Amino acid sequence: MVSVHSDVSAESVLAAFKIVVAGGFGAGKTTLVGAVSEVRPLHTEEALSRAGIGVDDPIAGKTTTTVAMDFGRITINDHLVLYLFGTPGQERFWFMWDELSYGAIGAVILADTRSLSDCFASVDYFEKCQLPFVVAINAFDDSPRYDPADVRIALDLGPAVPIMFCDARHSGSVKEVLITLVEHVLATSPATPDPVVSPGPPPADPPPEDPPRLGAAGFFGAPTVPTAEERWPAGRPA
């Protein structure tokens, strides 16, 4: 028997908004959501039955029969609620992005400068579905400090995309990120907006042959393999 383990919220929700929080594994998405909102669990059993085909062994993978994800809930006032949904990190849940992004007002991409390439898929996805987004660089103690302008170049972001530092552990910092996002949404929303069109799940990895991506990876120290001509301009040594 299913039990009601959470209280019924007292307010009447008359308008609900959602913001998607994306970023690589370990970038601090859950921390960010928890810093500003009441975190509640959500079970998405249906998700796995489709996504788990060929990936999760239906017998041995018992624990995956229910996918639990957390979401954050911010009560703005007595009739307005803002939801924060973190995107599932695992590759096989990427189809969930369509569901989470549909009707969202915007997205936060949480970047970790230690693995900035984790953001490429998110940037591609939100650009394709024309969902306004901000990039928040989570300032880990041991992460290299880069100028936001450099991160903008590395992620190949347009000049209009807000990019800022944040500390996902601190509510004040996360609040600033959300305020920046909503301001950005207000500034960019056209008079007659097009509904968010889902472009389908993003690729698991950015294609390595994509020139801006290669340059970006090189910028952050990822090994760029020189061609034989670059390595030995005068001819390959014997």
Please give the residue ranges that form the binding site for other proteins (CB under 8 A): 1-18, 36, 40-47, 49, 62, 65-66, 71, 73-74, 76-77, 80-83, 85, 99-100, 102-103, 105, 171, 175, 178-179, 182-183, 185-186, 189, 193, 195-196
With beta carbons less than 8 A apart as the criterion, state whether 44 and 100 touch. no
**Beta strands 163-166; 133-138: pairing state:** parallel
Q: Shortest distance, CB of residue 110 to other proteins, whole angstroms?
A: 17
Question: Three-state DSSP class for 23?
Answer: strand
Q: Shortest distance, CB of residue 204 to other proteins, whole angstroms?
A: 24
Q: With respect to other proteins, which residue has the nearer C-beta, 193 or 207?
A: 193
Residue type at 168 in one-letter notation: A
What are the Cα distances from residue 156, in Å, to 116, 119, 196, 209? 12, 11, 22, 15
d(CA 21, CA 32): 9
Closest C-alpha to 107, from 77, 80, 87, 137:
87
Q: With respect to other proteins, which residue has the nearer C-beta, 139 or 182?
A: 182
Q: With respect to other proteins, which residue has the nearer C-beta, 69 or 153?
A: 69
Q: Shortest distance, CB of residue 113 to other proteins, whole angstroms?
A: 26
Q: With respect to other proteins, which residue has the nearer C-beta, 103 or 207?
A: 103
Q: Shortest distance, CB of residue 16 to other proteins, whole angstroms?
A: 4
Q: Which two tokens stand for residue 218?
A: 């090189």
